[in-house]
Amino acid sequence: MSPQSDPVSLSSGQRWSVEIGSEIRSTPIVVDGRVYVHDRGAGKTACLDEHTGEVLWKRSTGGRDHLAAPAVDGGRVYLNGRGERTALALDAETGDTEWTFPTTHGSRSIACVDGTVFVGSDDEGAALIALEAETGREQWSVDVGSELFGPPAIVDGTVYAGSTNSRVLALDADDGTERWQFDASGGVVAAPTVRDGTVYVGTQSGIVHALDRETGTEEWNSGAGELGMLYPSPAVDDDLLVVGTWNTGEVRAFEPHSGRERWRADDLKQIVYVTSPVIAGDRVYFGSDDGLHAIDRDTGEHREKLQADAAGGMQSSPAVVNDTVYVGDNEGTVHAVSKTE
């Protein structure tokens, strides 16, 4: 791809920006007109009005213990953490604490589906723990042998999880029984992405694996030596799979059913890291060390950018809801920007 002209600034479409703390690295979660976000620098979790950015509540919930984005389901906000707060549930309306779940060490990830909270613990033995969402009572626990940095994906009664010891697991969501296991090319530190009949994972060795959802059989992989570390989760829709790297600033697209390369975003300038991309309309959005970027979904050409004033940029992956992009920056500010077309 030939170099393109400089991207258009997204600042003119900025709807609001609200400072809530000092370091946001997880994705804002937008549910029922509210934006839930955790600031790990200040140790606070906040709820904002989706349209105005008004802070509806803010609670001290602990700082760098919370690495994952909050999970929101059934009127509660769930956070991962350490020690006495390995997992905790807040009332989504008020921010009041409803329950906490302790382990010896803590957790790296959290997800909630259909009344069950799934916690990736980094206790001895590194377990995936299932908790009752209403009470925090443990339902089951499975030793997975290594840390689960990324939250699991739960689809149709199956839990899909990747671990730092290069394994991808499929477990029964009701009791934790293993359905299949796949040995990947490297550690998996982001959440798997499930689309139709396929599970997509990226590894620390820079390889994308596409696995049959029912059996774990590999359908294709992207090949060795092609990409940097794939810490972010892949984004996928009907005809496009997009991945970004954490150490080399690359963004690349593949055909999701065959693994054939579609394009490379070659005109990104001086970017080191890329957060988990989001495909929305005719754009692909992602955060980086210098701001929020939008590239053309069909060609990978750089279209728009919101320059980050924060030192270190935007390690928060964006969320796109309706016509707005929500993203946090490394100095604790949440931004809402109009989605481009």
Give pLDDT tens digits for 143-173: 888 888 889 999 999 999 999 899 999 999 9
Q: Burial-class residue 114 by CB neighbours within 10 Å (0-12, 13-18, 19+).
A: exposed
Name residues of the chain where pLDDT drops below 50. Answer: 1-4
Residue owning tokens 């549930």: 89
What are the angstrom distances between the C-alpha of 149 and each of 17, 36, 52, 286?
29, 20, 33, 20
Q: Distance (Å, rounded) from C-alpha 83 to C-alpha 96? A: 19
Which pLDDT does position 106 carry in this prediction? 78
Which pLDDT does position 82 carry in this prediction? 76
Strands 241-244 and 235-236: antiparallel
Three-class DSSP category at 28: coil
Which pLDDT does position 65 carry in this prediction? 62
Which pLDDT does position 3 carry in this prediction? 42
Show the DSSP H helices in 27-94 as ranges.
Answer: none
Which pLDDT does position 63 carry in this prediction? 63
Beta-bridged to residue 71, according to DSSP, are 78
Which pLDDT does position 1 carry in this prediction? 41
